Structure 1
Amino acid sequence: MTNEPPAGAHLQAVAAELGLQPEDTRARTGDFEGGRIRFAGRAGDREPSDYLLLWTPDAGWQLAADDGRDGAVQVVATLPGGRPPEAVADFVLGALTGRGERLVRRSDEPGAEPVPPGGKDRSPA
């Protein structure tokens, strides 16, 4: 049994609510506490856009999109404070819907494929 840091457990719970896998998350504790969840957004037939959901205790949640420059991201939505995983998932899905996209796993992740509808389908409709 691993001793998962609290930030890691929370990020993995948010990822699960979004239909993503634990390997889509990264967490850090110690001198800097925070983490990220990697995924993509897809609109129609376009190539998926890369996203990061960033979390720090001070800033809360930030949804950041790849802005096309080498590794640069732009924050496109924020959710302050600590929130339960369901609320964070609703925030992410709402922000993506507002951008005309739906959540998918990144193509460079092992076993990447669109998030299947079903058990944890939290999409508005």
Structure 2
Amino acid sequence: MTDDEPSTAAYMRAVAAELGLQPEDTRSHTGDFAGGQIRFAGQAGDREPSDYLLRWTPGEGWELATETGSPALRVVAELPGARAPEAVADFALTALSERGERPVRRSDEDTPEPAQRPW
């Protein structure tokens, strides 16, 4: 995987799609900080959703972190290297499952307009 914007952005979108999330949930970067991130929430039953950030840094790998409300994130799981989007999704889903959660879109993210029905 190269660090250029198109391939990094495509990588983030592919992982998001595997998690059932939207391209709008992803961000990618080049330059001093090459890599990307996917923001989403973890839903567990009736409990308030937890905010998560799935980050990828080339040469280091993936981190799943909770957003604690302060500038610091709390890393809850790590996966080294660049992996296929399916493997990254499995990693994130397993880590969330161990916490009793599943990924959902964050309520503060823009939601796509529903498709208009032809009838």
Fold similarity call, TM over 0.5: yes
CA–CA distance in structure 1, aligned partners of residues 104 and 80 of structure 2: 24
In structure 1, the residue corresponding to 2:45 is in which secondary structure? coil
CA–CA distance in structure 1, aligned partners of residues 33 and 77 of structure 2: 22
Asked whether the equivalents of residues 5 and 30 of structure 2 are also in contact (C-alpha less than 8 Å), the reply is no
Asked whether the equivalents of residues 5 and 29 of structure 2 are also in contact (C-alpha less than 8 Å), the reply is no
Q: Which runs of 4+ in 1 moved over 3 A?
A: none
Aligned residues: 109
In structure 2, the residue corresponding to 1:16 is in which secondary structure? helix
TM-score by structure 1 length? 0.81
RMSD over aligned CA atoms reads 1.6
Q: What stretches of structure 1 of length at least 5 have no aligned partner?
A: 113-125
Residue 106 (structure 1) shift: 0.3
TM-score by structure 2 length? 0.85
Whether 1:80 aligns to 2:80 is yes
Which of the pair has more CA radius of gyration? 2
Residue identity over aligned pairs, in percent, reads: 68
Q: What stretches of structure 2 of length at least 5 have no aligned partner?
A: 113-119
